[in-house]
Amino acid sequence: MSSASQFANRRSQMTSAWRFLRGFIENPGHVASVLPSSSALLSRLRDLKCLRDSEFVIELGPGTGETTQALLESMPAKSRLLSIELVPEFAVHLREMVIDPRLHVVQGNALKLTELSALHRELAPDAVISGVPFSHFSDEQANRLVRSVRVCLKPGGTFVAYQFRNDVRDHADELFGRPQVTAVPLNIPPLSIFEWSKPASTSKEMARSDWSLSRNHGAIGNKY
């Protein structure tokens, strides 16, 4: 890399870090961290197996785009990524910083996942990768979100959440079973990556169970 592009790269990282900090000061509950994710987390995200042959992935809480870029680096050339970000300034920044024809950024609430993904007429995702802070959601919101993820995922799809705390497990384990857990001690603060799989079965029983999840918990039925 030339020194001019190294300088430009460093400048854009500083701009992102500054925007992230400002986003945290203005929306501490939603952003939940003063720094964007570390290179240690980004390299773990790039290694996720579920990205390799994916056609369609949904990212929840991309922030200023460091994680978005990492996911795109491991996704196939013909895949698509839908990134849903609540904070409007982050969504604007992300559209400017990550220029990639595979990426579609939506400024919206991950709690409306089913409506947003259906609105965009996408395929069922191979993976949902989430950085939204489950510890700041009420029990009802956290349950609604994990149920929407489970309903919208492809059979055999993967739900990934990287979190500072374990709260997400109180909601997701009940639906998906035990996750694979990877510690990322070098992130500041240290965090864990949880990975759950939706069974690959396409049986009627499974379709019925997903439909009843969506009816009983207020999500819209699976439109995929």
**Residue ranges that bind ligand SAM, judged by CB under 6 A:** 30-33, 36-37, 60-63, 66-67, 84-87, 90, 109-111, 131-133
Shortest reach from residue 205's CB to ligand SAM, in Å: 32
- CA–centroid distance for 173 within its chain: 17
* Residue 43 or 177 with smaller CB distance to ligand SAM: 43
**Which structure tokens are listed for 115?**
């409506």
Q: Which candidate, 198, 162, 204, 167, places its Cα nearest to that of 181?
A: 162
Parallel, antiparallel, or unpaired: how do β-strands 127-130 and 158-163 relate? parallel
Shortest Å distance, C-beta 94 to ligand SAM: 9
CB of 84 to ligand SAM, least distance (A): 5
Distance of CA 10 to CAs 46, 89, 92, 219, Å? 21, 20, 20, 42
Residue 8 CB, nearest distance to ligand SAM (Å)?
Answer: 20
156: its two tokens: 């055999």
Amino acid identity of residue 99, one-letter, is I
Single-letter code of the amino acid located at 143 = N
